[in-house]
Amino acid sequence: MCSLFSCGHLLLLLTFLSCSPLSAASPPNLIWIMADDLGWGDLGCYGQKVIQTPHLDRMAAEGMRFTHFYAGATVCAPSRSVLMTGLHHGHTRVRGNAGKTNPAAQALKEGDVTVASVLKKAGYQTALIGKWGLGDVGETESGLPRKQGFDFFYGYLNQHHAHNHFPDYLWRNETREAISNTIVPIGGDGAGYAKEAVHFADDLFTDEALKWIGENRTSPFFLYWSMVIPHANNERARELGDGAHVPDYGPYADQDWPPQDKGQAAMITRMDSYVGRLMQHLKSLGLAKNTLVIFTSDNGPHDESRHNLERFDPNGPFTGIKRSLTDGGIRVPFLVWWPGHIPPSVSDHVGYFPDFMPTAAELAGAACPETTDGLSLVPLLTGDTMKQKKHEFLYWEFHEGGFKQAALHQGRWKGIRQGGADAPVQLFDQQHDVAEQTNVAEQHPEMAKRISDYLKTARTPLAEWEPQWKSPSRKKKP
């Protein structure tokens, strides 16, 4: 695959042979847990000093903790599209948050191949619980979860609706199910905020996830548990100045902090408790040794709840947050837990969301799709590290405020371009500059040109997501 990337073919639709099945008595259950806007540095196992995450820290201690893993994009919808399709940001169907103005651009279409459909075809029971964001009722129903490989869905279809952690309805498959919260609506897509907050959506998702696992424990299953926390309620932040709406502040109630800070910390610790419940549930059902669990985030941390970023340092040593193509916006926590199969370890292997498609297919003994930008992580996870393939290039783009591109070459050299297809590439040497503070393009012109040439051919044209270049702003990024 790497040699094809370097040739710079326009299509870059890579054809793979079918993955060889993992030799095992039965294929493992697969659970992908994804937080929303959780930073690399938000967990204790990644250096967090203020927020308590004991269960995720234990998951890291008992499994494999990746230090150099990337989300599919720096914002929600495209990152999820990359995950589902196994195609990087320049190849996947949904390449940005389209919003109300162009909802068709934010929906999977008939013919798209998702990891859920691959696993379902291999005999897995499949469920999505939580936030979707890749199709809705009405004109974008081609992207509805149950048309994209999921047997069961419970949660939010629309990402604006998902801003409200205390909604007055959720979707159960294609049925709108009332929830006993009273909200102040803002817009027509379920967004707003609760004035009578009774049921916290992520509490409901946790109960539903554990119930579904219990009901499907006798056959191989795939659960995509797509949490909403710690995403902000953006509408509540604009109206009331506090987007971190939680049932209670937990261990932070007595801290001398603003409510936004208490709420942000409480959301993350509450999320951590859900993972603890899951691990215990799998053990009590006797499923832990045959269930591979992944925990990660869809992109870097946000500042939309109006909380104090400096208090928590959510991006750790990296520069930027959500909506940045520097590593603070795209490098994410990535934990893999599979008792009896993966020993406690730390890996600096460079991977990203497209890798889940071939990994899941190989573990399930399924055929990989003919087009994928991912590499199976099975050799690494099963201790056969000498056979683990590595990416030559990883790719991202961003469409808000003018088109931008980024690529990571050989796990070391990061190139970022904005301002035009022929604009110079900013080059950062992550081996010596993880914060991406010093542009070394002049010192390494051959490397800058190699990444520049790759960026010109990395993406396939898509009418809904044509680049709209703008001159770079002089304003310094966060």
The per-residue pLDDT for 157 is: 97
Residue 323, sorted as left (phi over 0), alpha (psi -120 to 50) or beta, turns out to be left
User: Using CA atoms, how far apart are residues 380 and 358, in angstroms rounded to an integer?
Assistant: 13
Asked if residue 476 belongs to a domain, the reply is no
Crossing angle of the two packed helices 54-62 and 259-284, in degrees rounded to 10: 50
Phi (first) and psi of residue 435, to 5 degrees? -80, -5
Place of tokens 């991406």: 436
99-142 pLDDT tens trace: 778 899 999 999 999 999 999 999 999 999 999 999 999 889 99
SS3 172: strand
Mean residue pLDDT across the chain: 93
- Tell me the mean pLDDT in the region 397-418: 97
Asked if residue 440 belongs to a domain, the reply is no
Asked if residue 354 belongs to a domain, the reply is yes
What token pair was written down for 43?
């967990």
Q: Are 363 and 119 in contact (CB under 8 A)?
A: no
- Tell me the mean pLDDT in the region 297-315: 97
Q: How far is CA 34 from CA 17, 47, 131, 238, 280, in A?
A: 29, 19, 10, 26, 18
Kind plus residue range of the DSSP H or E element containing 469: none
Name the residue type at position 354: P
Place of tokens 């008595």: 25
User: What is the full DSSP assignment across 149-171?
Assistant: T-SEEEEESSTTGGG-SS-SEEE
Asked if residue 465 belongs to a domain, the reply is no
Asked if residue 425 belongs to a domain, the reply is no
What token pair was written down for 376?
């199976």
Res. 25 pLDDT band, cuts 50 70 90: low
| The length of the chain, given as a count of residues | 478
420-458 pLDDT tens trace: 999 999 999 999 999 999 999 999 999 999 999 999 999
Res. 19 pLDDT band, cuts 50 70 90: very low
Alpha helix segments (H runs only) across 155-228:
201-215
Query: Which CATH number do you get for residue 55?
Result: 3.40.720.10
Distance of CA 124 to the CA centre of its chain: 22
- Tell me the mean pLDDT in the region 15-32: 62
Give the bridge partners for 167, in sequence order. Answer: none
321-370 pLDDT tens trace: 999 999 999 999 999 999 999 999 999 999 999 999 999 999 999 998 98
**Residue range of the domain that includes 111:** 18-391
Name the residue type at position 4: L
The per-residue pLDDT for 8 is: 34
187-199 pLDDT tens trace: 888 899 999 999 9
What token pair was written down for 289?
């040794």
The per-residue pLDDT for 471 is: 81
Asked if residue 412 belongs to a domain, the reply is no
User: Using CA atoms, how far apart are residues 51 and 251, in angstroms rounded to an integer?
Assistant: 9
Q: How far is CA 136 from CA 32, 111, 132, 445, in A?
A: 22, 17, 9, 46
Asked if residue 68 belongs to a domain, the reply is yes
User: Using CA atoms, how far apart are residues 2 and 15, in angstroms rounded to an integer?
Assistant: 12
The per-residue pLDDT for 14 is: 31
What token pair was written down for 187?
């817009």
Place of tokens 């932040």: 237
39-88 pLDDT tens trace: 999 999 999 999 999 999 999 999 999 999 999 999 999 999 999 999 99
What token pair was written down for 247?
């049932």
Bond prior to 103 in cis (omega within 30° of 0): no
CA atoms within 13 A on the CB side of 205: 35
154-211 pLDDT tens trace: 999 999 999 999 999 999 999 999 999 999 999 888 899 999 999 999 999 999 999 9
Number of domains comprising the chain: 1
Asked if residue 283 belongs to a domain, the reply is yes
SS3 234: helix
**pTM for the predicted model, two decimal places:** 0.94
